[in-house]
Amino acid sequence: MEYSHLLPVVLAFSIIFLYSLILKYSSRVARKLNLPPQACGARPIIGHLHLLRGSSEPAHIVLGKMADQYGPIFTMKMGMKRTIVVSNSEMAKECLKTNDVIFAGRPKGLARETLGYDGAFFVFSRYDHYFRKIRRIVMTEALSSHRLETLKHIRESEVKAAIKGIFDRIRRRDGGGSNSKKDSGVVVEMEEWFEGINENVIFRMIVGKRFSEAGKILNSEKGDLILREKIRGYVKLLAAFAVSDTIPFLRWLDLFRVKREMKKMAKEVDVLLEGWLEEHKQKRKTNNSKSDSDDNEERDFMDVMISILDGDDNVTSTYDADTINKAVSLTIILGGIDTITGTLTWILTLLLNNREVLKKAQQELDQHVGRERQVKESDTENLVYLQAVIKETLRLYPPGPIPRPDHESTEDCVVGGYHIPAKTRLVINISKIQRDPKVWPDPNEFRPERFLTTHKSVDVRGQDFELIPFSSGRRICPGMYLALKSMPLLLASLLHGFELSTLGEEPVDMSEAGGLTNHKSGKVEVLLTPRLPARLYGH
């Protein structure tokens, strides 16, 4: 009995000893199978996690430095999970094109189970019949080029309303005069402004009402603010580190209470989705003039999904119709708002720090649009310099520098001449790929002109692996076309309608916040001054 206090110590040393033996055996197997080189510094149980969790830098920067040391493909141990990290375009092409089907798998994880409706989030689901069917529905009924074209009035009306809102603030400050003074302006926190527009666009597409109206379901005067915080919290938890995802036998501990927080958030947001869905069902019962056979173009996505899933046993055999509707609708809401908002903030920050580029973009707008009308979405196709600005920002600051969730191989394959076993996780370091000096001269400089000259033919739609901000292959970001429609219109309208200036002489800080989506750290406050006649702002 007097030795009982030594049992935990003995147990701990036993586990470490056994793990050391496993590592030694694994190293022999790795040499025999010709696996990619393994990074140094792995520790018992946790593997290389300490290199990522203990760093103040975002993961894509840490992994980029490791790629400089170990090469464009190397192996890490994320806890007890074998992971390969790919950091150049050739290796990415082998994974996402040559072996696309093999790497279309997804690992199981706590976020998938709790926040992702146990895989009903199609971005978390396995590459199976359910995934293919739901993705096809989403791309047809919500995010296809044709569908987005029919909904351009939503984007245009929300952008116009937001531009008018800024001008109205200036008028109120200046006493309501009919003409704005040349030196009049108002300070706007731009990320929140972008977020507000995207919230309205996405919610009108998916739920059929503006964001503030959707927030009324919370029965609070601050319903929209509460709803915004819930969405932000949901995205944050999707990116949260769950120890059990990499060290499965510790799942029962729920370290850092991640599982508890996820379950709580999932329940709260599910209540909201259930409420919006019930509103749709009640509306369908009372509005008999709108039959399922009517044209879908004027109906929101949640309503269209009700019609599609009704009686479709091929899909609802996996999950019930309501679960699918809520999960898929939430997927689009979260992805659409967060990624577009983050990228627009980076674009604006780069423009503020590169005034000559900002001036050129505004000159292009004056040339193609003039100052006698507002920008239309159809104008953006002719704004080649503005498109180059967006491309260059997506190169430097892709929405997901390391796409999440990870890919996972479903069977053995070969990448770069190395053997990759089944159940190996794949991390694509998009940020590192898009700053490769072999492909991009002066890779860390903001030079939109490169997309009008040397890299004119390089596109962002997943076919040119030197530039894959939305990833590529079967798991390419489904919201890509929405982003490429929304961002040019919003950015063009802002630059066309206002002069922009910072509140100080110092450049805007370019620190990255990290997380599921690549957001800029800190606020971006900008002084906006009208540059068009007052009548063009809705007066």
Indicate the pTM of the whole model. 0.91
| pLDDT at residue 1 in the model | 47
Alpha carbons 237 and 257: distance in angstroms, whole number: 11
CA distance 162 to 164: 5
Residue by residue, DSSP assigns 212-224 as HHHHGGG-STTHH
Per-residue pLDDT of the chain (539 residues; tens, 9 = 90+): 455 555 555 555 555 555 555 555 555 555 567 999 999 999 999 999 999 987 889 999 999 999 999 999 999 999 999 999 999 999 999 999 999 999 999 999 999 999 999 999 999 999 999 999 999 999 999 999 999 999 999 999 999 999 999 999 999 887 665 554 455 899 999 999 999 999 999 999 999 999 999 999 999 999 999 999 999 999 999 989 888 888 888 888 887 889 999 999 999 999 999 999 999 999 998 876 454 545 555 799 999 999 999 877 667 778 999 999 999 999 999 999 999 999 999 999 999 999 999 999 999 999 999 999 999 999 999 999 999 999 999 999 999 999 988 999 999 999 999 999 999 999 999 999 999 999 999 999 999 999 999 999 999 999 999 999 999 999 999 999 999 999 999 999 999 999 999 999 899 999 998 778 899 999 999 999 999 999 999 86
182-220 per-residue burial string, b: 16 or more CB within 10 A, e: under 16: eebbbebebbebbbbbbbbbbbbbbbbbbbeebbebbee
Question: Is residue 153 situated within a structural domain?
Answer: yes
CB 120 within 8 A of CB 328: yes
Report yes or no on 62 lying in a domain: no
Contact 405, 123 (CB under 8 A): yes
Residue identified by tokens 């926040």 is: 115
- Inside any domain, residue 102: no
Q: Which residue from 427, 472, 503, 539 is spatially nearest to 77, judged by alpha carbons? A: 427
Determine, yes or no, domain membership for 406: no
Query: Where is the binding site for heme, in residues?
Result: 477
Which pLDDT belongs to residue 4? 53
The answer to whether 380 and 489 have CB atoms below 8 angstroms apart is yes
For residue 316, the number of C-alpha atoms closer than 13 Å in the C-beta half-sphere is 14
| Pair of tokens at residue 458 | 């390089």
Instruction: Identify whether 15 is part of a domain.
Output: no
- Residue 230's domain comprises 129-400+447-537
Cβ 265 vs Cβ 310: under 8 Å = no
Distance of CA 147 to the CA centre of its chain: 21
Distances (CA, A) of 533 to 457, 461, 509: 38, 37, 33
- CATH classification of the domain holding 292: 1.10.630.10
- pLDDT at res. 454: 97
- Chain centroid to Cα 260, Å, comes to 24
Residue 440: inside a domain, yes or no? no
Predicted pLDDT at 293: 46
E strand or H helix at 530, and its extent?
strand 525-530
Of how many residues is the chain composed?
Answer: 539
- Annotated binding-site residues read 477
Tally of domains within the chain? 1
Query: Residue 228 falls within a domain, yes or no?
Result: yes
Q: To the nearest 10°, report the CA torsion of 121, 126, 131, 132.
A: 160
* Alpha-carbon gap, residue 47 to 20, rounded angstroms: 11
Residues 6+ apart with CB under 8 A from 1: none
d(CA 394, CA 233): 25
Chain centroid to CA 439 = 25
SS3 percent helix, strand, coil of the chain, rounded to 5, is 55, 10, 35
Q: Cβ distance 188 to 344 under 8 Å?
A: no
Q: Which residue reads 């819930």 in tokens?
A: 230
Q: How far apart are alpha carbons 67 and 36 in whole angstroms?
A: 12
Using CB atoms within 10 A of its CB, is residue 236 exposed (0-12), middle (13-18) or buried (19+)? middle
Q: What is the pLDDT of residue 25?
A: 53
> CB within 8 A of 52, min separation 6: which ones?
59, 62, 63
Helix (H, G, I), strand (E, B) or coil at 492: helix
The CA-based angle 230-334-132, given to 5 degrees, is 140
d(CA 301, CA 324): 12
Q: What is the pLDDT of residue 317?
A: 76
| pLDDT at residue 8 in the model | 53
- Whether residue 328 is contained in a domain is answered as yes
